[in-house]
Amino acid sequence: MNEGDAASLARRRFREIAPPLLDDAYTLAKWLCRNGADAEDIVQEAAIRALKALETTAVERPKPWFLTIVRNTAMTWMAKNRPKALAYAGDMADLDALDSPLGEIAPDPEAALIALEDGARLRDAIAELPPPLMETLVMRDVNGLSYRDIAEATGAPIGTVMSRLARARAALAKALRS
């Protein structure tokens, strides 16, 4: 089989395997990284890895195979993008020990007020960002646009979009720490 045939077969197999599993993949990635936007990036990277792997791999059990790729991608992503203190380094059995946000009881009035104040601080910090950083941050983290969509909308190269997003997030973190 030539390279073109292998790639074509891999794309066909990917279209059969991946789409029904994307919700599960996103749920796993979001649980691991605790952030929806990051989970999207992780699932996208995992899908790319899966597509490449399908050129040389036969898959008998698609769901565990794909979720393993998602998990490994999440661990790699967190090791690169999160402070070491926040990176999850356990195995799948350790997930049972983590507290579920769904199991929390309703916050008391003081906790609700603190949450409102934190939300206002965040909105203020976003508003203080320079316009290119603010629009990139809002398009990505509020609207959930892909880097490509943001690049197309702003006329900036994808690398610039990624740089602006990183700078915007760093500026927000600094503003919220003070």
pLDDT tens-digit map of 77-118 = 988 887 654 444 444 444 344 333 444 444 566 666 666 667
Domain with residue 113: its CATH number is 1.10.10.10
* Mean pLDDT of all residues in 9-24: 88
- Tens of pLDDT, residue by residue over 126-150, are 778 886 787 688 658 755 657 886 7
Is pLDDT larger for residue 46 or for residue 63? 46
* Integer CA distances (angstroms), 83 to 87, 88, 100, 112, 150, in order: 7, 10, 22, 28, 26
Total domains present in the chain? 2
Q: What is the predicted pLDDT for the residue at 46?
A: 93
Q: Of 137, 117, 116, 141, which Cα lies nearest the Cα of 127?
A: 137
Q: Is the pLDDT of residue 73 over 50?
A: yes
Q: 82 with 111, same domain?
A: no
Within a domain: 91:
no
Highest mean pLDDT among 4-18, 94-108, 149-163: 4-18
Q: Is the pLDDT of residue 38 over 50?
A: yes
Q: 33 with 76, same domain?
A: yes
Is pLDDT larger for residue 61 or for residue 108? 61
Domain boundary residue, one of 86, 115, 132: 86
Query: 135: helix, coil or strand?
Result: helix
- Residue 156 sits in which domain range? 107-177
Q: Is the pLDDT of residue 51 over 50?
A: yes
Alpha helices in the chain (DSSP H): 3-17, 22-33, 36-53, 62-81, 109-127, 131-137, 147-154, 158-177
Domain with residue 20: its CATH number is 1.10.1740
Within a domain: 160:
yes
